[in-house]
Copies of this chain bind each other. A is one copy, B any other.
Amino acid sequence: MPDKFKFVENGSITTPAGFSAAGITCGLKKSGNPDMALIVSDVPAAFSGAFTICKFAAAPVQLCKERVLKQDKIRAVIINSGNANACTGKQGYEDAVKMCGLTAAGLSISPDEVMVSSTGRIGVHMPMNIISAGIDKAAKALDPDGGITAAKAIMTTDTVPKYAAVSVELSGGVVSIGGITKGAGMIDPNITVPHATMLAYVTTDADIDNKLLAEFLGKGAEYSFNRINIDGDMSTNDSLIIMANGVSGVKVTPGSEDAEIFYQALQQLLQELAKKMVRDGEGVTKFVTVNVSGAASAADARMCAEAVCNSLLCKTAWFGCDPNWGRVIAAIGYSGADFKPENVKLDYDDMPVVRDGQDAGTPEAVLAQLLPKGEFTVSIDLGAGNYDYQMWTNDVSYEYVKINAEYHT
């Protein structure tokens, strides 16, 4: 199946046919860096979305959740950075509605056909005059090759724009899936306000209905964005939106082999975007894959992986290139997963570190060569069953603390 799809060089949300995008500066960021993006499908597109479960979900998230339930097709997504429109009450919700209305007016479509995302400072009302002028500008800047420009406009402390696309060979022809994302655990030094939001947008020219999109998006997010950990915090604004405009004329039918191929390609794309976020996390110097196997249950496998990925002691040890495995073992031990200590195996890449719950005897000098590589795998076999779980995470560095402490409101 992997040969049925391949990554497209410099691919993004405008790689699929029938999509255009823009990234512009509307003036929310004091730095003058781009702070507004617009994604538009030439024709009404099937869609779905996955959003933060934070109880203080921002106004645009509330509106998008309603759209997903009520609306059949959409045409556009308008995105701003610099203001989260969160904890802004009724006015915040009205502002989100207005953003959709202004976008619809600029594109001569219905306001119901527009989704909206915001990221930035919490608790401040949207400066709607700036937003209004920005939306006009974005609508005029739409470009069928504008995907990467849009990826740049949603960046905050991201050091590189994050985008990818795959082309997928289905029985009815070739379709494309493209995506852009901005990283989690982020703070924007340009606008000097902290925020920590994951935004991701995916487009495809395949013909696929809302129900199947929702199923694929939920499962795909579970195997990608839900399996990365940067600082363990979740934002009021996290949003993942997918649009399928069918412009390729290639239909993806539920239950078909094509559907499975399409899903696998989507999952790979989402994983690629998620990994790009981990690599570009604030102050990151290490990219760590954590593989848990031999767990007694799916929940145990996940708890174990999450405990290791959330451990500040593990993350600072990795930053310090310290191969000491005591902190990993301690995190496994308090994870809540069920196992017998004497059955646990731990490996760093292909080097045995713990066997029978004790030091495996690999010399520290050998282990110490691993971490400076900057990318390695921590494999944990609990020896208690057949469930596994994989996560991607990174280290915590001086730079992380600096970024998150120094940029004040």
Give me the interface of A with B, judged by CB distance under 8 Å.
52-57, 84, 86-89, 121-124, 185, 193-196, 231-236, 310-313, 316-317, 319-327, 329-334, 337, 339, 341-342, 344, 354, 356-359, 364, 368, 396-398, 400-402, 404-409
Contacts and interface: CB of A to CB of B under 8 A. Distances in A.
Nearest to A196: B313
Contact of A409 (B56, B84, B334, B364): B364
Nearest to A84: B326
A196 B401 contact: no
Given A233-B330, A401-B319, A55 B89 contact: no
B89 A342 contact: yes
Taking chain A's interface residues, is the majority helix, strand, or loop, or is none over half, making it mixed?
loop
Copies in the complex: 2
6 contacts: A54-B330, A56-B341, A88-B358, A89-B357, A194-B327, A233-B312
Contacts of A233: 311-313, 327, 330-331, 334
Contacts of A333: 54-57, 234, 236
Contacts of A195: 326
A356 B401 contact: no
A55 B295 CA distance: 14
Nearest to A233: B313
A326 B194 contact: yes
B359 A123 contact: yes
A321 B409 CA distance: 10
A54 B84 CA distance: 39
Contacts of A310: 232
Contact of A356 (B53, B89, B334): B89
B122 A54 contact: no
Given A53-B334, A84-B326, A185-B313, 17 more contacts: A54-B333, A54-B334, A55-B333, A56-B329, A56-B344, A86-B329, A87-B354, A87-B358, A89-B357, A121-B324, A194-B313, A195-B326, A231-B312, A233-B311, A236-B329, A312-B312, A322-B407
A400 B84 CA distance: 30
Nearest to A406: B320
